Structure 1
Amino acid sequence: MITQAPIQMVDLKTQYLRLKTDIDEAMQQVLLNGDFINGSFVRQFQQDLAAFLDVERVVTCANGTDALQLAMMALDLKPGDEVIVPAFTYVATAEVIALLGLTPVWADVDPDTFNLTAENVQAVLTPRTKAIVPVHLFGQCADMEPLLHLASANGLAIIEDTAQAIGSIYRFADGTERMAGTIGDIGCTSFFPSKNLGCYGDGGALMTNDTGLGERLRIVANHGQRQKYIHERVGVNSRLDTLQAAVLSVKLPHLPDFSRRRQEAAARYDEWLGNVPGLRIPVRAAASTHVFHQYTLKVEGDQRDALKSHLQQAGIPAMVYYPMAMHQQPAYRRDEYPAGSFPVSEALCRQVLSLPMHTEMDEAEQEYIAAKVIEFFNAE
């Protein structure tokens, strides 16, 4: 049976109440210390996140979009350079490319995992290509090993967008494991409140195993200065404030538990929805764990919008991530990319539907959601 409380896509309040004592204490400490900018919690969180991810350097910043921009600036990409991104992604991935005067080049995605593949990237490579941005969409890594080989053979940088997959683990063919965001040249993440590791405002971070690159990232994020008032590079002002770092410092040790809770909720959805005709549950990539930032169904035929309406009428929120492929967005539309250019991405925009997913999922609530999904298909 459905609970009395309204069903939410993400339940941040209940998670906060579970961690309230520690979060309140950490935030109170910031208020008492008055170190709101680059305070002790920022420095400690950077160290703790680097240790958690087993990466050489973490540089925090103001948000995930800034992280992507900082990565491209630190790599010295120049106007006209081409950067390959998925056609099926959130706009931030392409937005910073355009803002820096670079050229976004779209690539289609895998129909099962929704992520970039080396084959699709190879198909759009040109002599002007300088970087690839694999987006680890919905909670699992793109197949990074072939992408690394492709990048190495062509002298390309890899910027991982791991805003939806922090905590996910990628397995190489030889059994080696690496955390999402630590595989390419630079990893970028967001701490937007609804993310798997989220703060209570905006926040972001970059990860790298290249010490020199890590220092460039730090400089670019701080007005291009290493020494105050001496500006070595063109930079920006992008900081994670100390209050948000305090929240993240409390949450970080809970991230494995957050992932486990999401995986358990996904397994319950799988059990109830795995054999529904006309519906496909999320596919798990063989080389990556899935931390389920979203639990995203593929709805066959033209039934997606009708299913979404059916769920809304039953008090169940469901979201479409994303309703339009990047090459079809008005701001990024170009003549060389007519409709049909990226058939998988375009089809996904008509098929995907994400169900409520968060760390506080109630089993009875999930069962109600699944029952309403099944009810829709039984009525067809």
Structure 2
Amino acid sequence: MQFIDLKAQYRKLKSDIDSRIQTVLDHGQYILGPEVAELEDRLAARTGAKHCIGCASGTDALLMAMMALEIGSGDEVITSPFTFFATGEMIALLGAVPVFVDIDPETYNIDPVRIEAAITPRTKAIMPVSLYGQCADFDPINEIAARHGIPVIEDAAQSFGGTYKGRESGNLSTIGCTSFFPSKPLGCYGDGGAIFTSDDSLARRMLELRNHGQDRRYHHTSIGINGRLDTIQAAILLAKLDVFDEELAARQKAAATYNKLLKDPVQAPVVRDGYTSPYAQYTIEVDDRDAVQQALQRAGIPTAVHYPVPLHLQPVFRHMNLGEGGFPLSERAGERVLSLPMHPYLEASQIVQIAETLRRVVADVTTVTK
């Protein structure tokens, strides 16, 4: 059993993917070839954002978004401590300070009620993370940001394809950033990402930043990076985009089956009314996670933990002196979350097998610990 079955997806899409790649090999425009612009147009149309800028990774997307907003040394960016490291890493890389706000324990996303108290004169952006696929609660976040004149960057690395009150993830704030890492709901065969905005000035700035800060060849108006999306990766994404809605429906069907079968023994994901999730991960909470995970492994069921150590407890941020207990909801989640196999080609019989095994394992672990 595969945790994420990219081989099954490739078998289904092989002719389209191979044809797209061959076209790139034939025309030879490996950097910023026509497939990149085609992908950007399709992604912008899908989200409703005016601009899409393809880039080398979701991490670079976050970096360029903050560079475009001129975030630098001594500035503060409000974000969640319960996320992949890149969210805080890119803030710190620019010399800014990540200011953490604890999560909503049901959605694992930043709690809007806690944000305003974290705003200071040095706050230059709010960066909510749309974790596991479900969007953060953007209406109150955007309202708070507007009152204080602060831009909002959505870290949508896991939520592309999800919606919030009828709007697409990636187009919910000033800038949206996503990832096309292979395991994402829409993933390429390497690193890749995209940035979305409807602000013409920011779009122009990020286009320059991704190509060494140049507005035309050999004319550099700023210090940028090499953040370009490879043409071959764009071609692969175009082939996958043709079946993306079908795959989203399959993911949501799988999640619904999981929810039905796991209603009692574990804390299943909560997707709130008005939201849809692409289920980048199907993440539950369990007691005695290590014992449960080991028992599932012995039964041939792969699992993963996203993410065991919140950012404020990472060694590199030790100098911030935040320590254990500072963000108790994030810390509790880090100790309890467990992600189960999730992909569009997961068969109903496999979900039944996983659920039945999990129910048995949880019962056994509970008996042993009593």
Verify same fold: TM over 0.5: yes
Deviations 1:330-358 (A, max 9, x none): 01123541210000000001110000001
Instruction: Show CA shifts across 1:167-190 (max 9, x none).
Output: 11111xxxxx31111111110011
Q: Secondary structure at the match of 1:263?
A: helix
Runs of 4+ in 1 over 2 A off after TM superposition: 377-380
Q: Which amino acid aligns with 2:207?
A: R
Match of 2:315 among 316, 330, 333: 330
Deviation at 1:74, TM superposition (A): 0.5
Q: 1:157 aligns with which of 151, 157, 160?
A: 151
Instruction: Report the secondary structure of 1:334's partner residue.
Output: helix
Contact 1:143/1:287 (<8 A) preserved: no
Matched, 1:147 2:141: yes
Structure 1 residue 214 corresponds to structure 2 residue 203? yes
Distance 1:351 1:330 in 2: 21
Structure 1 position 275 matched with structure 2 position 275? no
Counterpart position of 1:115? 109
> Which residue identity does 2:247 align to in structure 1?
F
Q: 2:6 aligns with which of 9, 12, 16?
A: 12
Residue 190 of structure 2: which of 193, 201, 204 is its match?
Answer: 201
- Which residue in the other structure is 1:310 paired with? 295
Partner of 1:27: 21
Contact 1:83 1:130 survives alignment (8 Å): yes
d(CA) in 1 for partners of 2:177, 2:271:
22
The Cα offsets for residues 280-334 of structure 1, whole Å up to 9 and x where unpaired, read as 100112232111010000114xx11111011001011111110101100001123
1:298 is aligned, of 269, 285, 307, to 285
Q: 1:85 aligns with which of 70, 79, 83?
A: 79
- 1:84-103 alignment, distance < 5 Å: 84-103=78-97
Residue aligning to 2:215: 226
Aligned mate of 1:131, from 105, 125, 134:
125
Question: How many equivalent pairs are there?
Answer: 365
Question: Which residue identity does 1:265 align to in structure 2?
Answer: A
> In 1, Cα distance between the equivalents of 2:318 and 2:80?
14
Aligned equivalent of 1:174: none
Task: Tell me the equivalent position of 1:343.
Answer: 328
Q: Which letter maps to 1:337?
A: L
Query: What is the CA distance between 1:56 and its match in structure 2?
Result: 0.2
Name the structure 2 match of 1:357.
342
SS in 2 for 1:197: coil
Matching residue of 2:239: 250
Residue 286 (structure 1) aligned with residue 273 (structure 2)? yes
Cα deviations by residue, 1:57-78 (Å, 9 ceiling, x for unpaired): 0001111100000000001112
Which residue of 168, 172, 182 maps to 1:179? 168
Letter aligned with residue 160 of structure 1: E
Equivalent residue letter for 2:124: K
Which residue of 159, 163, 167 corresponds with 2:161? 167
Q: CA deviation at 1:143?
A: 0.4
Corresponding residue of 2:180: 191
Distance 1:60 1:269 in 2: 34
- Matched residues, percent identical? 46
Contact persistence 1:327–1:334 (CA under 8 A): no
AA of the residue aligned to 1:74: A
Instruction: State the SS of the aligned residue for 2:118.
Output: coil
Task: In structure 2, list runs of 5 or more residues that go unmatched.
Answer: none
Pair 1:235-2:224 in alignment: yes
User: Are the equivalent residues in 2 in contact too, given 1:117–1:147 (CA < 8 A)?
Assistant: no
Structure 2: distance between partners of 1:287 and 1:245: 31
Q: Encode CA deviations 1:265-284: one digit per residue, 9 max, x unaligned.
A: 001111111122xx110011
TM-score by length of 2: 0.97
Give, as a single letter, the amino acid of the residue that structure 2 aligns with 1:375: R
- Partner letter of residue 181 of structure 1? G
In 1, Cα distance between the equivalents of 2:154 and 2:244?
A: 19
